[in-house]
Amino acid sequence: MDTAFLAGPRPAAGLDVSRRGFLLGAAAAAGGGLLVGFRRAEAAESGATDAAPVNPLEAYVHVRPDGGVTVLSAHFDMGQGSYHGLATLVVEELGADWTKVDVVGATGNTRAYGNLAWGGTAQGTGGSSTMVSSWRRYRTAGAAARMMLVAAAARAWNVPAAEITVDRGVLRHGADRRAGFGDMAAAAAALPVPAEVPLKAPGDWTQIGNGDLKRFDRAGKTTGRQDFTIDVRLPGMLTAVPVHPPRFGAKVKSFDAAPAKAVKGVVDVVETPRGLAVVADHTWAAMRGREALFVQWDETGAETRGSDEILADYTRRAAGAPDAWARQDGDLDGALAGAAKVVEATYTFPYLAHAAMEPLNAVARRAEDGVIEVWGGLQNTDTYHQAAARTAGVDPSRVRMHMMKSGGGFGRRGSPDSDVIIEAVAAAKALAWRAPVKMQWTREDDMAGGRYRPAYVHHMKAGLDADGNLVAWYDHIVGQSILRDVGFPLPDGAIDQISVEGSSTLPYAVPNLSVGLTTTQVGVPVLWWRSVGSTHTGYATEAFFDEVAEAAGRDPVAFRLSLLAEHPRHAAVLRAVAEMADWGGPVPAGRHRGVALHESFRSVVAQVAEVSVEGGTVRVHRVWCAVDCGVAVNPDVVKAQMEGAIGFGLGAVMGEELTLTGGVVDQTNYDGYTPLRIDAMPQVEVRILPSANAPTGVGEPGVPPLGPAVANAVHRATGKRLRRLPFARELG
């Protein structure tokens, strides 16, 4: 289960692959070559040894007989560059030739691919944890493979291993001995696994931290050759579109399939756990068949409230006392009562859709050998595997999962209810497995199909003493619990840390600080959305801090720095962005600047936004961004993720809002739900702070500071505080 990652304490960076927990192994591959990998030692506690060789389902690195290297990725790539990152770790230590490197998604063995950031007990990708989990084990696998190849060459040439060099897939001794990896792979596979596998010293790195390195997988993304799940084509494959109830929680009461089946190309209408599916020869026929279908819904249990009602309720409750406390330092009430000045504000956040470019989909079939095969964006890899097996009614060992790259994700491909995976398998099973089925949600299904960033209200108060010192801070958060909504059992009154992360971890030194939570029960399905809790806590805390700094008559950067003595990483990142933007220096006429700082997923990011406001229209011209993410494995990927996060975050605060009327989602496509377009994209400058620490998150941490940095700049331009998102609501 993913519980450890989601609910448990987050382990420190640089997770060790110790011999106690994971065993290094190697073997000959069935088709030839050398496999090196790890497994979780099942009997570690009993002290038993596990000397068996790794099997292909446990490998991280396959040195192929043709000399190429296949990296088997434990992590899903939704565009964030995880495949490239893992390949970089392997190439660095192995000395492989980038032009012969391939990465494929690996599945089906938790013992090998369990996410170390989640305790190693489940394979999956999320929480910006790919590098955290992989940093040691993929480098170690690459280094072990190299040692074994060198040992094989040393034996073949009868020379000392120390005299053999490795460069770009070639082993050399002196001027006359030379062999490709493929020539030595079989011999290497017969050798013992090295007892000690030293890793390169950082000063010797040529790939890790190399800012000139380009993503190895970019070419296929310029020619149309990169295949996603939507592009999977199998012999005899049918395409299905889902039929979901218009209101969350409703069920099929009755339906008449005849008009749908009368549409040319429609093969069948089948029942699925969530409704129905129209199955056809191709996508268009399925879509037309669905238009003709008549369904009556049983809406007894359905959510019928609109988002305005839901948020009005939240606002009322936010004004009252919280149900539970996430953090209580000092004496808040006393400090507020004794404060010379109290600042108070309420911040309101809408539901948000992930709206990834590739709508949700999955492909399922029963192969000739009886194994159930599933292709999809397998972010919750193990959970989906189990769900596919359960739905098919087979043992998990009879399920083969194919991890595809996805056209974005932003959290939506990691739904613990395995929604689209189950739908694909259920549809194929309902057809008695007579054909492979691609379950393809349309844009409308994707947008109105639930699993949103929850709506939240934050009621904030701060107290300043007579000298302008921040003596009290109160943050009451009201909204749904993601963990509870996706089915993780939380006892009543327990804090879902995801609801408060970023607020309960406020870095500023405030002697009297209370963060409260009121968890609501709403029938709108919710989920993690790029940067999760920090999507709202980052905004509420950093926009409110700006209000407090203004009340204190202090500069926003200087005031923050004065309260960050205990957080040197935060202070360094803030100083860096202030220097980049020449904070306090001259600003072009008509432009205004705001700053924000936030830690998420173990990384710290600060941003300065430069805006102009004309006739109620906010334009963000420039954003400076400083990030401390530990060692930047791929600096250019880190920069790309920061740039993308800035555009993603800007689109959200400017205009994204998912609303419901009477329980029905109002926005069904990109006309009503409006991510950022190129004409609103600012210039971005990113600085990565040098660090010797193990890598921390990159995919998500660029999002949270952007909204408050822009809001704080807009306040300087207009005097108006943007406390209800999106800005279009306040300024429109």
Partner 1 sequence: MIPLNINGADHQIDADPDMPLLWVLRDLVGLTGTKYGCGIAQCGACTVHLDGEPTRACQTPVGDVGTARITTIEGLTGAAAEAVRAAWIEVDVPQCGYCQSGQIMAAAALLAENRAPTDADIDAALAGNLCRCATYFRIRKAVHLAARTLEG
**Does 81 sit near partner 1 (CB under 8 A)?**
yes
**Does 442 sit near partner 1 (CB under 8 A)?**
yes
| Burial (CB count <10 Å: 0-12, 13-18, 19+), residue 677 | exposed
**Does 406 sit near partner 1 (CB under 8 A)?**
yes
**Does 524 sit near partner 1 (CB under 8 A)?**
no
How many Cα atoms within 13 Å fall on the side-chain side of residue 704? 30
Q: Rg for the chain (alpha carbons), in Å?
A: 27
**Does 239 sit near partner 1 (CB under 8 A)?**
yes
Q: How far is the CB of 571 from partner 1 (least distance, A)?
A: 28
According to CB under 8 A, which one of 30, 51, 565, 678 is a site residue for partner 1?
678
Residues contacting residue 438 through CB under 8 Å, at least 6 positions apart: 229, 230, 232, 237, 238, 239, 240, 361, 362, 363, 424
Q: How far is the CB of 438 from partner 1 (least distance, A)?
A: 10
Closest CA to 650 of 714, 585, 726: 726
Q: How far is the CB of 262 from partner 1 (least distance, A)?
A: 14
Q: Near partner 1 by CB under 8 A, which window of 185-193, 197-205, 229-237, 486-494?
A: 229-237
Tokens of 718: 């207009």
- Angle between the 706-718 and 635-655 helix axes, to the nearest 10 degrees? 50
Q: How far is the CB of 407 from partner 1 (least distance, A)?
A: 3
Kindly state the number of chain residues that form the binding site for partner 1, as judged by CB under 8 A: 61
**Does 684 sit near partner 1 (CB under 8 A)?**
yes
SS (HEC) of 552-612: HCCCHHHHHHHCCCCCHHHHHHHHHHHHHCCCCCCCCCCCEEEEEEEEECCEEEEEEEEEE
By beta-carbon proximity to partner 1, the closer residue of 227 and 256 is: 227
Closest CA to 103 of 121, 82, 124, 119: 82
Q: Which residue has tokens 């309101």? A: 348
Q: Near partner 1 by CB under 8 A, which window of 219-227, 241-249, 416-424, 452-460?
A: 219-227
CA dist., res. 400 & res. 420, Å (int): 16
According to CB under 8 A, which one of 46, 158, 222, 300 is a site residue for partner 1?
222
**Does 435 sit near partner 1 (CB under 8 A)?**
no
By beta-carbon proximity to partner 1, the closer residue of 221 and 251 is: 221
How many Cα atoms within 13 Å fall on the side-chain side of residue 53? 14
By beta-carbon proximity to partner 1, the closer residue of 163 and 227 is: 227
Strand arrangement of the beta sheet that strand 165-167 belongs to: 165-167, 170-173, 177-180
According to CB under 8 A, which one of 225, 300, 370, 467 is a site residue for partner 1?
225
**Does 223 sit near partner 1 (CB under 8 A)?**
yes
According to CB under 8 A, which one of 180, 408, 450, 695 is a site residue for partner 1?
408
By beta-carbon proximity to partner 1, the closer residue of 178 and 214 is: 214
According to CB under 8 A, which one of 146, 405, 453, 476 is a site residue for partner 1?
405
* Contact yes or no for 242/296 (Cβ under 8 A): no
Q: Which residue has tokens 């097996």? A: 389
By beta-carbon proximity to partner 1, the closer residue of 413 and 602 is: 413
**Does 705 sit near partner 1 (CB under 8 A)?**
no
**Does 278 sit near partner 1 (CB under 8 A)?**
no
Q: Are strands 238-243 and 437-440 parallel, antiparallel or unpaired?
A: parallel
According to CB under 8 A, which one of 20, 251, 316, 677 is a site residue for partner 1?
677
Q: How far is the CB of 219 from partner 1 (least distance, A)?
A: 6
CA dist., res. 268 & res. 238, Å (int): 10
**Does 283 sit near partner 1 (CB under 8 A)?**
yes
Tokens of 431: 């057809």
* Contact yes or no for 439/363 (Cβ under 8 A): yes
Neighbours of 687 (CB within 10 A): 18
**Does 432 sit near partner 1 (CB under 8 A)?**
no
By beta-carbon proximity to partner 1, the closer residue of 288 and 305 is: 288
**Does 647 sit near partner 1 (CB under 8 A)?**
yes
Q: How far is the CB of 672 from partner 1 (least distance, A)?
A: 10
**Does 648 sit near partner 1 (CB under 8 A)?**
yes
**Does 629 sit near partner 1 (CB under 8 A)?**
no
The residues that touch partner 1, with contacts defined as CB under 8 A, are 78-81, 214-215, 218-228, 230-231, 233, 239, 264, 282-284, 355-359, 405-410, 442-443, 636, 640-641, 643-648, 650-651, 669-671, 675-679, 681-684
